[in-house]
Structure 1
Amino acid sequence: MNDMNWDDLQIFAHVARAGGLTKAAEALSMSAPTVGRRMLALEQATGKSLFVRSRTGYTLTEDGRSLLHKVQGMEASARPIEEWLAAGVERPVVRISAGTWTANFIADNFSRVWTANDPFRIAFKTTEARLDIAHREIEIGIRNRPADGGNLASRRTVEIAFAPYIARNHPDPRGSEWVSLGSDEAVTRSARWLLAQEGISICAWANTPYTLRDLVRAGVGKGVMPCFAGDRDPRLMRAGPPIADLAEWQYLVMHNDDRHKPEVRKAIDRIHALFRDHAELCRGDRPIGAAKEDLL
């Protein structure tokens, strides 16, 4: 136990949450082999097996889950000390977690969320995964469901619609094949919905939403996107009506204590106002183009 240190425990938490070495290594700016060696060293230091290793990733053992729970408690305890050390030294940072399309939309409207006169800064955490707000990995999470327990609060924003999109002026919008995220990357409802459909033909898979969009733009096939993303892109048009099964409400989720901080409250209010002012776009009522008039 004398060889165990806090850095290794933080690396362990990243691996546990990411479910593998690659994504954890990217978040830590380390190499995957280095992260793997550190985890082996941690298991030797604790004398316990923390992971079940397989081709598909790292799964926590019972001891691993127990250790993660303790590390999360240490992280939460350390947060006030980190804030105290930073007080008066630099402006606070409001960390916002959002999926690719939502983060892109906010970035395009960043002046609505932050100005140069604000006494805080913004840090985007663009990921399709759900970061841990209860243990303060972020201040604000933009999600498709409200807070589901713990000391969390949520605020509903707008309804989000999804539709199939294809390159503008594509010669065969109805008959074209599909472009999809791969099964390993299909963590969103829209990606899982497409893979679950019977009788469709997928001609290309992508591992990121942006690559999917680029393939659709290039005329490879049609893909599912939220209307606030597809309808803003002049290189795309709808290849069908909004998909009723995918309509969902969007929520801002935050820690019940942190939401009262002035900088967090201001960011919440501004993000809420941004989406409220674009409610028609978000629910698919303002398409800039469609494959056929009868598809609208």
Structure 2
Amino acid sequence: MKSLSWDDLRIFIGVARGGGLSPAAAEAGLSPATVGRRMLALEEAAGRPLFVRRQTGYALTPDGEALFQRAQAMEASARPIGEWLAAEGARPVVRISAGTWTANFFAANFSRLWTPDDNFRIAFKTTEAKLDIGHREVEIGIRNHAPESANLAARRTGEVAQAPFRARNHPRPGREDWVAIAPEDISTRSARWVAEQKGLSVVAWANTPRTLYDLIRSGVGKGVLPCFAGDRDPLLERAGEEIADLREGQWVVMHNDDRHRREVRIVIDRIVDLLTSHAPLFAGERPLGTE
């Protein structure tokens, strides 16, 4: 017999009390199909049937009743811990994985994602690397492609354009100096695109997108930025046309189970609303000074 997961036992208690999958799913913030799979796995781990499955619901077998009594005792023992956490004011945290510029945009519009009345908190995981949503490194990720894993879901929000930018007040007429991400630190399509161009005069390298931005803004040279970052800055201007090869889609990606949690669902809806309401900006259709 395998060891039994307390998370699965808590769901088991919900199924036993509610007499079916739907009440337990609503309580756990999961889909009924997921609860059903978890109960099959629990029975396999226990090595015996726990339910009699009928069209009218789930009834406990004798073994299921015995486990239910023991699980309730465990629940009662764990209750003081839950009360202690509640007394400490613990609130769930929704972790969002996003690249530098998307995280910057979210920070500038934080009031659209969270309010003081919300009973959860938000944690940004700002990185150009893709954190593993499937293994619960984060609850929500902003990605440039749809997920391929069956346990992930996604909502498309639009497209992201990129273009070269220069400092508005410090142009260097006749000069084609560039700033770029150093070859050993390349992790994005835009950085690879610049590295692949022949004949560029690169006068300075950066190891992070933020430092690259600071170099552009200081007038050191021109560099590639997402249009939604460069077009929002009054100290920057476009230094060329959109780079068509770098246009890509944008998706809000989440775990199939976690997306049913109330706080995660709220944040997902708010992120989608924020991004879609600014779709022209992300698509490069709102350069500064245009309508």
Scaled by the length of structure 2, what TM-score is found?
Answer: 0.68
SS of structure 1 residue aligned to 2:211: helix
Question: More deviation in 106-115 or 143-152?
Answer: 143-152
Q: Which residue of 1 aligns with 2:277?
A: 277
Question: More deviation in 198-207 or 159-168?
Answer: 198-207
Q: Which residue of 2 aligns with 1:242?
A: 242
Unaligned runs of 5+ in 1: 1-80, 291-296
C-alpha distance in 2, partners of 1:218/1:251?
32
Q: Which residue of 2 aligns with 1:188?
A: 188
Q: Which residue of 1 aligns with 2:112?
A: 112
Task: State the aligned residue count.
Answer: 208
- How far is 1:158 from its partner? 1.5
Q: Which residue of 1 aligns with 2:210?
A: 210
Q: Which residue of 2 aligns with 1:201?
A: 201
Spell out, residue by residue over 1:29-53, the C-alpha distance to the aligned partner (whole angstroms, 9 max, x if none).
xxxxxxxxxxxxxxxxxxxxxxxxx
Q: Is the 8 A contact 1:231 1:237 kept in 2?
A: yes
- How far is 1:87 from its partner? 6.5
Q: Which residue of 1 aligns with 2:263?
A: 263
Q: Is the 8 A contact 2:95 2:124 kept in 1?
A: yes
Pick the structure with greater CA Rg: 2
C-alpha distance in 2, partners of 1:127/1:184?
16
Q: Is the 8 A contact 1:173 1:239 kept in 2?
A: no
Distance 1:172 1:204, change over 3 A: same
- How far is 1:169 from its partner? 3.2
Letter in 2 for 1:167: A
Q: Which residue of 2 aligns with 1:227?
A: 227
- How far is 1:154 from its partner? 1.0
Spell out, residue by residue over 1:38-92, the C-alpha distance to the aligned partner (whole angstroms, 9 max, x if none).
xxxxxxxxxxxxxxxxxxxxxxxxxxxxxxxxxxxxxxxxxxx9xx969745110
Spell out, residue by residue over 1:198-243, the C-alpha distance to the aligned partner (whole angstroms, 9 max, x if none).
1211111001111111111111100100000000011110001111
C-alpha distance in 2, partners of 1:184/1:248?
24
Distance 1:176 1:266, change over 3 A: same
Residues 1-296 of structure 1 mapped to structure 2, 5 A cutoff: 88=86, 90-172=90-172, 175-288=175-288
Q: Is the 8 A contact 2:151 2:255 kept in 1?
A: yes
Unaligned runs of 5+ in 2: 1-77
Distance 1:149 1:173, change over 3 A: farther
C-alpha distance in 2, partners of 1:200/1:176?
8
- How far is 1:260 from its partner? 0.7
- How far is 1:170 from its partner? 3.3
C-alpha distance in 2, partners of 1:87/1:249?
41
Letter in 2 for 1:218: S
Letter in 2 for 1:130: K
SS of structure 2 residue aligned to 1:184: helix
- How far is 1:174 from its partner? 6.4
Letter in 2 for 1:120: F
- How far is 1:182 from its partner? 1.0
Identity %: 63
SS of structure 1 residue aligned to 2:268: helix
SS of structure 2 residue aligned to 1:119: coil
- How far is 1:173 from its partner? 5.8
RMSD: 1.9
Q: Is the 8 A contact 1:238 1:289 kept in 2?
A: no
Scaled by the length of structure 1, what TM-score is found?
Answer: 0.67
Distance 1:174 1:140, change over 3 A: farther
SS of structure 2 residue aligned to 1:115: coil
Q: Is the 8 A contact 1:162 1:225 kept in 2?
A: yes
